[in-house]
Amino acid sequence: MNDVRAQLDQLLAQRILFLDGAMGTMLQRQGLDESAYRGVGFRDAPKPLKGNYDVLCITCPRAVQDVHEAFLAAGSDIIETNTFSSTRVSQADYDLQAHAYELNVSGAQIAREVTDAWTRRDPSKPRFVAGSMGPTTKTLALSPDVNDPGFRAISFNEMRDAFAEQARGLIEGGVHLLLAETFIDTLNLKACIVGVKQAFAVTGREVPLMLSATIADSSGRTLSGQTIEAFWISVAHANPLSVGLNCTLGAAEMRRHVAKLAEISPRYVAYYPNAGLPNAFGQYDETPDAISSVLAEFARSGLVNIVGGCCGTTPEHIRAIVERVSPVRPRDPRKTLDRRAVVSSYSGLEPLEITPNTGFVMIGERTNVTGSKRFANSVKAGHYDTALEVAVQQVRDGAHILDVNMDDGMLGSEKAMETFLKLIGSEPEVSRVPIMVDSSKWSVLEAGLRWVQGKGIVNSISLREGDDDFLAKAAKVRVYGAAMVVVAFDEQGQADTIERKIAICERAYRLLTERAQVDPSDIIFDPNVLAIATGLEQHADDAIDFIEATRAIKQRCPGVRVMGGISNVSSSFRGNDTVRDAIHSVFLYHAIRAGLDMGIVNAGRLVTYENIEPTLFRLVDDVIFNRRSDATERLVEHAETIKSSGRKADGPRLA
């Protein structure tokens, strides 16, 4: 990978590189009949094969080779293999799924033979082969059945394995890089990324990876609902050579979306549009002059590094693009600030960025079988529609992130997590926010990660089982592209003093940043919010210890976030919501000022700090800071005089 990546980096610093155009369009021009598609090997195939362009890599390789030759003659630097549909998922439509690996090897070998010949003739202009990996004919984030939003026609693991097989075939066939393109569903692309990583491990060879999405319409969202920003946040962990857009609309209609991608991504930006929108006959009418003129303007505006064509584009289109765009300097991705040093980014259908100026981020706690009786009863009864209503209400009440926990001995937690997250994926009002997958069982966490389209958060991993286990789980979290909560817990148990809270978090920070290469912006420390006013002396400083540990962690572990499960601090007063609400508000007021970024809360019950009854406020404040030896006794006595109102919050004015 290093040699090819270095060569591409050198070229991309000097000029804009050019992809090829539409393989399908050019093969259609050849007028091949059914017998050409069947060849000898598939003469007895049970289904018609005409239109399955990928099979021509085996049955009529000369036709594919001629297309590659034509695009290279037009000036393409990078040609794509004729393998867009060569996964066993897509080839199952033709009953050729058993030949998926062979199709990819053949497609790669054909393209390499052609490019190698061109490079030998002119070594000053090297040509490259990109292994084309299309999105398949199925989706993971969307149900194909409008009457069953939780149904999926394929599992994440099946999708992952199909892409792993395809990538392995392409790599072993000799491609220089991989191009995952035309993805309408980011969860499909995340499965592809995991599969590609598996192929790298199996083959022992890594190649640069290009990623390209397709938006559904002029709104700038993918078919599965993500904005461009949310899409990039979801896949940035793949560290691609480039990120881009292709297909869908004509070039002019895509300008603002390409510009947004160029603004937010520090990677090379690729864009290769259709030749306009298809007409009534399914043909594409945008001329080479028109499309090249638009792409030249993109280039002059500093938006692109790699350009080419998609549906309907021919060698004539590519030749015109090369002529118009070649004189223009490429976009400099170094000018796009990598904001990870100051921003933590997560996503659902929409992005969530936490900056030093964001304020407190609320993580909705009610979609937790241990924290909400209504939610737990709904899940146990299989009434997931009612459980989904709890999620909707948490988001409406202001939750920025949704914590989902299915840890209950009476549940099949893995299946319950999968089922609920599929339903969330079909509910835009909920799925617009990032998901925090919460469990004490690794199998449940991984089951959840497979059904989160955006960049989610794992809650949690810890040093309980030592360094090796901790690092192995962190590596798996990274593969799925999630951030991670690290709870202050080690081989000796839960951190219950300020010294242990800080020491464990510093140890975890060093391991993650120095050995696991985790970016600090993807680390969220939980120093353990413990109950106050328990009557036990050893718990008297628990609140202030958390607050001061938060302050120290933010200073000693640059770039991380700190969170806590806020309801824990008041658990001694279960049944008295008025007192509990007051404790939460006062505790958060001080913790936020110490650096607390986010907390798991009931988003509908946070009370305004200034509106707490003065006597109650003073008593709570004394307990939190352990100001008096009788602070707990005084608060307990006062609590007995208060009748819990159960009222809803005025709003989370805490920062």
Q: What is the CATH number of the domain that holds 227?
A: 3.20.20.330
- Alpha helices, H only, 383-436: 384-396, 413-425, 428-431
Q: 270 and 403 in one domain?
A: no
Backbone angles phi, psi at 426, to 5 degrees: -100, 5
| Predicted pLDDT at 606 | 80
Q: Would 554 be classed as within a structural domain?
A: yes
Q: Would 648 be classed as within a structural domain?
A: no
Q: 415 and 364 in one domain?
A: yes
Q: 185 and 206 in one domain?
A: yes
Question: Where are the extended beta strands (E) located within 558-617?
Answer: 561-565, 598-601
Tens of pLDDT, residue by residue over 541-597, are 999 999 999 999 999 999 999 999 999 999 999 889 999 999 999 999 999 999 999
Q: Is the pLDDT of residue 645 over 50?
A: no
Instruction: Report pTM.
Output: 0.94
- Per-residue confidence band for 339, with pLDDT thresholds at 50, 70 and 90: low
Average pLDDT, the chain: 94
Q: Is the pLDDT of residue 654 over 60?
A: no
461 forms bridges with which residues in the sheet? 486
CB contact set of 270 (below 8 Å; sequence gap of 6+):
19, 210, 212, 242, 243, 244, 245, 246, 304, 305, 306, 307, 308
Q: Which domain holds residue 249?
A: 2-337
Task: Tell me the mean pLDDT in the region 104-112.
Answer: 98
Q: 628 and 565 in one domain?
A: yes
Q: Would 61 be classed as within a structural domain?
A: yes
- Alpha helices, H only, 480-576: 498-510, 542-556
Q: 411 and 326 in one domain?
A: no
Q: Would 129 be classed as within a structural domain?
A: yes
Query: How is 452-471 classified by DSSP, letter by letter?
Result: --S--EEEEE-STT-HHHHH
Q: Strand pairing of 493-494 and 489-490? A: antiparallel
Tens of pLDDT, residue by residue over 131-156, are 999 999 999 999 999 999 999 999 99
Q: Is the pLDDT of residue 535 over 90?
A: no
Tens of pLDDT, residue by residue over 438-464, are 999 999 999 999 999 999 999 999 999
Q: Is the pLDDT of residue 395 over 80?
A: yes
Q: 351 and 280 in one domain?
A: no
Q: 293 and 271 in one domain?
A: yes
Tens of pLDDT, residue by residue over 28-49, are 999 999 999 999 999 999 999 9
Looking at the 3D structure of the chain, how many domains does it have? 2
- Per-residue confidence band for 653, with pLDDT thresholds at 50, 70 and 90: very low
